[in-house]
Every structure is written in C-alpha cells, then in structure tokens.
Amino acid sequence: MKSLECDINSIFVNENKMEIKSLVSMIATNLNYQTALDSPKIFHLKNTIGQEMTTKLICAVLVSFCDSIKATRTMDAIDTIECAELLQQKYSHDSIKDIMLALRNAKMKGMTFYNAIDVSVIMGICEQYFEDKAKYLESRHNETKNKSGFIRDETTTLLIGFEEAMEKKQKANDEAKRIAAEKRQIELLKIQNQILGNES
C-alpha cells in the first residue's frame, strides 16, 4: 500500500502531469456509451494486468479530472486510492471508460463542484452516470425490439399477400380449366349431333 501511495503521489508532481494527461487522453479516444460497453471490464483488467496497475490507471483518470476542474480542495493520494478501490468494487463489471465518460459528462453538463472534489462527489457522479446508462440500454433494447416486431409484421404481411396471390392464381387456373372443359364438352356435343344428323 505504501509503495502504491508513493506511485500515486508521483502523479501529483507537475512534471508528471503532462504524461498522465497524454495517457488519459489516449484512453479517452472515441468516448461514448458503445465504446465503454465494448471496453475490457475492470474485473478483467485486474485479472490480466493486476489490481495494482488497474488502481493506478483509475487514479490517473481521477487525478486528471480533478486537475481539469481546478478545485481548491481536492483529493490527495490516499483519497484517490480509496476512491479508485471503491470504484473497482462497485463497478467491477463496467469499464474504466465508463468512469471516464461519467466524469466527462459531469463536467460537460456544467455540474457545480463548489470548489471541492472528494470521494463522495466522484461516487455520486458515477451513480448518476450508471442510472443514465441503464436508461440508455433500456431505450436501445426497446428500439431493437420494436424494429424486430416491425420486420416480423412486414414479413407476415408479405407472406399473407403471397399466399393470397397464389390462391387467386390457383382459382384463375381452375376457372380456365373449367371453361376449357365446357368448351370441349360443347364441341363433342356438336360433333355427336352432326354424326346423328348424317345417319338419319
């Protein structure tokens, strides 16, 4: 923990901040709900690069955000580590990009920070984000469901139309056969009458 705290403290040093901003900016490429959904989940990162490295990444995101807000009272290294660990626990099946998007949305929407950022503020931002994300996913699911139903209805209509067309065609064929049979019958009767007339 002490080693991790020293590493996080180094992020707060001014000469390292540009490097951190560059890293965060690279991760934030094409940041939206879909890229956040497609990104590796936090529990997966912990299994692949380790918990300490995952914590450092989240801390870098938090420090970069706090620095951009320029609040007078903000989180120190210990607060930042605590916040990163809470986020990992609570949102283990979401991605770091989700956290970045939550922070960016709060900033873009003009959220008032009252010149102070602490762990509770960050957690509140993320809670609001995940509520909005849930509504987005529900809306997308309903939209997909409605489209699926529309396609199904259109397919059914086409099938019914095809069946009706085939039925009409069959009736027309049957009628044509009936008329042809009647004509043949009339012709046979004519021939028969002619034969009988000749005989008499």
Q: Tens digit of pLDDT per residue, the chain (200 long)? A: 556 555 555 555 554 556 666 667 667 677 888 888 889 999 999 999 889 889 988 998 998 888 888 888 889 889 999 999 999 999 999 999 999 999 999 988 877 777 889 999 999 999 999 999 999 888 887 877 666 555 566 666 666 776 777 787 788 787 778 777 777 777 766 666 666 665 55
Q: Is residue 68 part of a domain?
A: yes
Q: Is residue 53 part of a domain?
A: yes
Paired tokens of 30: 């094409």
Q: Is residue 196 part of a domain?
A: no
Helices (H), 12-76: 14-27, 33-38, 42-48, 51-69
Asked if residues 97 and 29 have their Cβ atoms less than 8 Å apart, the reply is no
**Roughly what angle, to the nearest 10 degrees, separates helices 51-69 and 14-27?**
110
Question: In whole angstroms, what separates CA 165 from the centre of its chain?
Answer: 41
Instruction: Give the count of beta carbons closer than 10 Å to the beta carbon of residue 63.
Output: 23
Q: Is residue 129 part of a domain?
A: yes
d(C-alpha 60, C-alpha 156), whole Å: 55
Count of structural domains, the chain: 1
CA angle 20, 107, 43 (to 5 degrees): 55
Q: Is residue 56 part of a domain?
A: yes
d(C-alpha 116, C-alpha 76), whole Å: 12
Owning domain of residue 89: 2-143
Q: Is residue 163 part of a domain?
A: no
Q: Is residue 124 part of a domain?
A: yes
Element of type H or E holding 167: helix 119-199
Question: In whole angstroms, what separates CA 124 from the centre of its chain?
Answer: 23
Q: Is residue 162 part of a domain?
A: no
Paired tokens of 81: 């580590």
